[in-house]
Amino acid sequence: MSSNSVPGVNLSDHQVMPVIGLGTGDFQSTAEAVKTAVIEAIKVGYRHLDCASVYGTEQPLGEAIDEALKLGLIGSRDELFITTKLWFTDCHSDRVVPALKKSLGLLKLEYLDLYLIHLPVSSKTEDSGIYPSKENIEPLDVKGVWGAMEECEKLGLTKSIGVSNFPVRTLESLLSVATVPPCLNQVEMNPTCQQKELREYCKEKGILVTAYSPLGAPGTGWGNNRIVDNEILIEIAKSHGKSVAQVALRWLYEQGVSFVPKSYNKERMKQNLEIFDWSLTQNDLDKISQIKQIRLNQENPLFPYVA
């Protein structure tokens, strides 16, 4: 499943996922730019690609996979690990299977490797905004929506199912009704958002944590430079002759989580893969554990609900 240099991680349902995936959480790039970037990513060795219906990246990602097959960059679709996510407007039990079928249509795929509930909330009405309004958020029907996710797996539309942005309390309600437990929880995680409590809980329950915004999402409109400008990380990066991004990603790797950095720049994509043949020292790890913790977007109306 993974390209040679990228280690795989075992999910609780026995699928193997390449530990690093290409994130596509970017609302500024054109579909053509996304397609070109994904082809480049496959060329430089990415086999795990992460998208979401709300990012609008399913269609260009599907076109890139088609092109990669035509170019012979991969022998078959099975060599890739593809994740997409159920947006909160479709977080109603009767809308999950149709939403996944729509995503598969855009991706031009028969099945996904992983389908995630994007947010631990539902919408009261159709809300096309990227950030749901406070008035349109309602609690998730955990039993109904998760039951429909399990149905997706049973129908063979996805190999694995999981969640994203779920805090411990929502995971607890989910686990109390699940027949198939979620194999993974994708949350904001980086050296300035270390998610210690959530990670401990997930580890105890056999749920893999995947880090989104592993670099703090600089230049994306919703993130900032707090990782790339962090003095402690800059100093550690200098001592190893690596970039700050590589230190942040290596730290995640050493925490036993997977991660989906977004880069559409070929050199940075390559750089982000070059983290598996060196390690941080105990002193580095001690310093990183002291970094002041700050969350993204605290004024977002979703903030009270998400991990």
Q: Which is nearer to ligand A2P, 158 or 213 (CB)?
A: 213
Q: Which is nearer to ligand A2P, 250 or 262 (CB)?
A: 262
Q: H or E element: which one contains 238?
A: helix 231-240
DSSP code for 199: H
Furthest C-alpha separation in the chain: 54
* CA atoms lying within 13 Å on the CB side of residue 35: 13
CB 115 within 8 A of CB 84: yes
Q: At closest approach, how far in Å is the CB of 269 from ligand A2P?
A: 7
Q: Which is nearer to ligand A2P, 186 or 220 (CB)?
A: 220
Q: Which is nearer to ligand A2P, 57 or 220 (CB)?
A: 220
Give the end-to-end CA distance of the chain in Å, rounded to a whole number: 29
At how many degrees (to 10) do helices 96-107 and 142-154 cross?
50
Alpha carbon distance 8, 16 (integer Å):
6
Q: Which is nearer to ligand A2P, 132 or 261 (CB)?
A: 261
Catalytic residue among 55, 212, 253, 305: 55
Q: At closest approach, how far in Å is the CB of 258 from ligand A2P?
A: 13
Sign for the CA dihedral angle at 66, 68, 72, 78 comes to negative
| Token digits of residue 17 | 């996922």
Q: At closest approach, how far in Å is the CB of 217 from ligand A2P?
A: 4
Look up 212 and say whether it is catalytic: no
Q: At closest approach, how far in Å is the CB of 55 from ligand A2P?
A: 11
Q: At closest approach, how far in Å is the CB of 81 from ligand A2P?
A: 18
Binding site for ligand A2P (CB under 6 A): 23, 25, 213-220, 228, 243, 245, 261-265, 268, 271-272
296: left (phi over 0), alpha (psi -120 to 50) or beta: beta
Query: Which residues have CB under 8 Å from 256's CB, separation 6+?
Result: 203
Q: Which positions are annotated as active-site residues? A: 55
